Structure 1
Amino acid sequence: MSKPLGVILAGGLARRMGGGDKGLLDLGGQTILGEVIARLAPQCAGLVLNANGQTGRFSGFGLPVIPDGIPGFPGPLAGVLAGMERAADLGLSHILTAAADTPFMPRDLGARLSAALSPGRPIALAATREGERLIRQPVFGLWPVALRGDLRQAIEGGLSKIVLWTDRHGTALAEFDPGPPHPFFNVNTPEDLAEARAIWQKND
């Protein structure tokens, strides 16, 4: 498989942070989004940022910004769809998605998701184990562009939960070590931001 298009999902409303873009928060010399870009870019043929509203706030990152193609903030699946449609325009077969607020995402995400694919399981999602449970991390996935028509139909039909759609098509899971730091730690609250800063500055 050739390298996918990387799609950073930043379309959320960040209510628990009081609004705004969580990816623009500072870790102590680097924004969260800057760290995500640094980790994801080497894994991909190119990067785009899925975000809604005024795009100028991301101008310093030098990435194309693509909005949801379906109105009303229907959730991350709309960002996946927007990424699929951009990848189709570029002639790429897959997209690799990551969240804009996860500064410790794996540097080998794409390779391990690709290795997990198998016949009958065309979508791969990341997962971590908590005790006996394997917890899916559905925002971190490798998605075939060929399913974009089906995804659009599902979203327009009211579906918003990622795993309800992926389970229709067969999903491979790639298990990642839960850390510390947890590879899919995401910044949702001011307390999370303080924790992320402490971890990032210790490891930087």
Structure 2
Amino acid sequence: MSAFSPITVSGVLLAGGQSRRMGGQDKGLLPYQGRSMASHVIDSIVPQVDDFYISANRHIEEYQSFSFPVITDDLDNFQGPLAGILAVMEQIDSEYLLTVPCDNPLISPQLRQRLVEAVLATGSDIAIAHDGKRLQPVFALIPRRLKQSLSDFLTSGQRKTRDWLFQHKVVEVDFSDQANYFININTPDDLQAKPKIGSNIPVLGFAAFSGTGKTTLLTKLIPALRDKDIRVAVIKHAHHNFDIDKPGKDSYQIREAGAEEIIIASAKMMALMRKNHDEIIEPELQPLIHRLDTHNVDLILVEGFKHENFPKIELNRAELGPAVLFKEDPHIIAIASDKTDSDDDMPLILDINNIPAMVDFIEQFIFSWKS
């Protein structure tokens, strides 16, 4: 599952709590943006670990449907995350256990990498993520060799996670550049709020009504950005059925035979095709960003997804009426229009026909994202 690592790491989804602030509902199974929170976490963390487990004390069959081992605590009455961690530590063969909670649907794609590097660099026992404002003790890398220490701690009647963690040498790992990946969903109101998109690569969207010319603008901007040595990836939302394959091709026949995913690769290009079944809801931006290979990308441009929370430029043509999306979306940072006069309450106005000026604005946006 994971890339090469000098140590072996198992992962665990911690879903064994009582969820008091959620009215006792099982948070991992609650719907978040159309899917259970557990499914969001699993999609993000499984590619980072060598094997994966779920710690749960109720709704066992529902958690087993994810096709990973489900481990219950030996202790009664929901004794907290440490009880679940110990139960999983007793099952694994890996040297380390990477823990993540079920109520944090966004997981940094660098979580394992940074925690492992910190442990190896400092000689610490445990690595814990820090989002720049607070410690995140359930995002931790814990060695299996501390299993007896944890067992003794729980046997003594103690339950506080921080108290046990800091009995050992801990390194706090800086994730302040990815603070948006730590968004614990604890209340019903939290479930309804969409978080800002998390990415270590600048993400900039173009929001507009149909017919405004989003694609036309992108085809002009991308070459101009390339001239500035800014490498661009694009994510585009399609509102209709589409197919990049053709009947009669080998890959088309294989897909129609029932393959769920197909990768076609050559020396020049690679394409991944995955079937979306009828019950699947509209695609979400965050998982699509995770699918990009960002090692050779400086900027991600997004066409569509205007209802998600990330920085956007609203496109406007005078013939289609005034700009209006910015009034409902605080994430619109500028308006690109062929009408450049503005009211006091409007964001910065960019000339949609002045590509060099728009490139200058995007360069400043990239700099501000990274600073």
Give the secondary-structure state (helix, strand or coil) at the position aligned to 1:79.
helix
Query: RCO higher in 1 or 2 (8 Å CA, sep ≥ 6)?
Result: 1
* Matches of 1:104 and 1:165, distance apart in 2: 26
Q: 2:187 matched to which residue of 1?
A: 189
Q: 1:153 matched to which residue of 2?
A: 152
Change (3 A) 1:39 1:27: same
Q: 1:55 matched to which residue of 2?
A: 60
Q: What are the equivalent positions in structure 2 for 1:1-204 lying under 5 Å apart? A: 1-87=6-92, 91-117=93-119, 118=121, 120-130=123-133, 135-177=134-176, 179=178, 182-196=180-194, 201=284, 203=286
- The answer on whether the counterparts of 1:27 and 1:201 sit within 8 Å (CA) in structure 2 is no
1:64-101 alpha-carbon deviations (Å, 9 max, x no partner): 110112223221111111121111xxx21111000011
* Matches of 1:143 and 1:203, distance apart in 2: 27
Shift of residue 124, structure 1, vs aligned partner? 0.6
Q: Structure 1: any 5+ residue segments left out of the alignment?
A: none
1:37-66 alpha-carbon deviations (Å, 9 max, x no partner): 011001111111000034112232111110
* Matches of 1:185 and 1:27, distance apart in 2: 12
* Matches of 2:195 and 2:135, distance apart in 1: 25
Change (3 A) 1:29 1:84: same
Q: Max radius of gyration: which structure?
A: 2
Q: Structure 2: any 5+ residue segments left out of the alignment?
A: 1-5, 198-282, 288-371
Shift of residue 29, structure 1, vs aligned partner? 3.1
Shift of residue 196, structure 1, vs aligned partner? 3.6
Aligned-CA RMSD value: 2.0
- The answer on whether the counterparts of 2:10 and 2:49 sit within 8 Å (CA) in structure 1 is yes
Larger relative helix fraction: 1
* Matches of 1:49 and 1:143, distance apart in 2: 16
- The answer on whether the counterparts of 1:154 and 1:165 sit within 8 Å (CA) in structure 2 is yes
Letter of the aligned partner of 1:66 in structure 2? Answer: I
* Matches of 2:168 and 2:64, distance apart in 1: 36
Give the secondary-structure state (helix, strand or coil) at the position aligned to 2:65.
helix
Give the TM-score normalised by structure 2: 0.50
Letter of the aligned partner of 2:193 in structure 1? Answer: E
Shift of residue 178, structure 1, vs aligned partner? 5.9
Letter of the aligned partner of 1:151 in structure 2? Answer: L
Shift of residue 125, structure 1, vs aligned partner? 0.6
* Matches of 1:77 and 1:94, distance apart in 2: 15
